Amino acid sequence: MAFHVYTEEQQDMIALAKQFGEQAVDPVIAEYDEKGEFPEEIVNTGLEMGLQSLDFPEEWGGAGLSTKTACVTFEELAKHDTGVACAFSVTGTAIAPIMKYGTDAQKAVVQKKIFEEGGLASFCLTEPGAGSDSGASRTTAVKDGDKYILNGNKIFITNGGYAKLFLVIAATDKSKGNKGLTAFLVEKGAKGFSVGKEENKCGFRSSNTVELVFDNVEVSEDAVVGGVGNGFKMAMYALDHGRPYIGAVAVGLGQRALEEAVKYVKERQQFGRPIADNQGVQWMLADMEMQIESARCLVYHVAELIDEGQPITVNGSIAKCMATDAAMKVCTDAVQLFGGYGYMKEYPVEKLFRDAKIFQIVEGTNQIQRMVVARSLLK
């Protein structure tokens, strides 16, 4: 197996995530996957452990760890279940712009609701007509005295049915395109704010994915995050912060599929010997390891760049794209190595294969990541 040096802090977090995964997640997660149900109790245990607060400042109640430590923690959690891992990582995506650009009052709300009370957050950007084209958001926020009135729908929102805080991107001036967007901090329970349809997904079924409805939702002008007209930049900052997390989750998922495949090919006998004895199988395993390890290096590198305060948009897109493509390929190959059994629900790789697909789509499709990389070359 490829080798990495982890700090003591990282080793402790990996051990913590492994113990949590083995004790709380592994025994029951297949049932949640089958029912398409959010494992609320398990996630609440993780919230009590502070898994939503890893790389946020201690002065505001965060754990004060590095982004690299957060990534290795999400990687380990994802070996057990990507839905559980993403409940915490997407909370980080949503609150990142608030912790960077928010007012002290907004940071204090995050401190109380997310870190102290142990809550989830949602990043509310996507709409039916604004997927990859996030500048095309139609949800409106109209100024009314010292308030804004929000109207519209957001879809495919991770954690939406359970979150306590929502970072909502809405148009304050439609004539200005993406420069007319503004980010708002909306709290659960705001009048007129409700959870709509819950999605029934192919994989990633333990993650809560819902529509959110804003029907004349009144928020104070103090809820504006990062200034009026800066919503697109807040959204891009959230995604810059979140894409390495998604890369880390994909690495963990791929690693789990590889480990399952290695175990299986050593046990499975055909033609009177383990199928691991075949060079064709060995080369598949080697390729799987090389893909995951390359992806891991890219994810760790971008996390280290974040920790050093360097610009990471392009590196983040590269890492997210490579890691999630690697996870899809490795999970597909793991199913192939299991043969017919790999396609059956009794064996673990069927779920990993279904779970892998979403990561080529979520937090920016891999086509969008390639667009970001290509634009950086051509500009």
Residues that bind ligand CAA (CB under 6 A): 90, 93, 123, 125-126, 132, 134-135, 156-158, 178, 232-233, 236, 239-240, 313, 362-364, 368, 371-372
DSSP string, 19-30: HHIIIIITTTHH
Question: Could you tell me where the DSSP H helices lie in 157-278?
Answer: 231-267
Are 260 and 268 in contact, with CB atoms under 8 Å apart? no
Please report how close the Cβ of residue 313 comes to ligand CAA at its closest, in angstroms: 4
Q: How far is the CB of 172 from ligand CAA (least distance, A)?
A: 16
Q: How far apart are CA 343 and CA 302, in angstroms?
A: 34
Q: How far apart are CA 167 and CA 180, in angstroms?
A: 16
Shorter beta-carbon distance to ligand CAA: residue 123 or 338: 123
Paired with 143 in beta bridges are: 148
Q: Which two tokens stand for residue 34?
A: 């089958």
- Output the residue with the shortest Cβ distance to ligand CAA: 364
Which CB sits closer to ligand CAA, 13 or 358? Answer: 358
Q: Is 363 tagged catalytic?
A: yes
Smallest gap, in angstroms, from Cβ of residue 3 to ligand CAA? 32
* Minimum distance from residue 233 beta carbon to ligand CAA (Å): 5
**Least distance CB 188 / ligand CAA (angstroms):** 16
Catalytic residue among 75, 76, 260, 363: 363
Which CB atom, from 180 or from 254, has the smaller least distance to ligand CAA?
180
DSSP secondary structure, 52-106, as one string: TSTTS-GGGTS----HHHHHHHHHHHHHH-HHHHHHHHHHHHHHHHHHHHS-HHH
Identity of the residue, 135 or 274, whose beta carbon is nearer to ligand CAA in the bound complex: 135
Phi, psi of 52 (to 5 degrees): -90, -5
Smallest distance from the beta carbon of 13 to ligand CAA, in angstroms? Answer: 22
Q: Cα separation of 17 and 76, whole Å? A: 6
Task: CB nearer to ligand CAA: give 183 or 265.
Answer: 183
179 vs 345 by CB, closer to ligand CAA: 179
Q: Which helix (H) or strand (E) holds 150?
A: strand 147-158
From residue 127, how far is each of 64, 137, 372 by CA, in Å?
33, 7, 21
In Å, what is the CA distance from 224 to each residue of 103, 123, 138, 172, 232?
Answer: 9, 14, 17, 11, 13
- Catalytic positions, written as ranges: 363
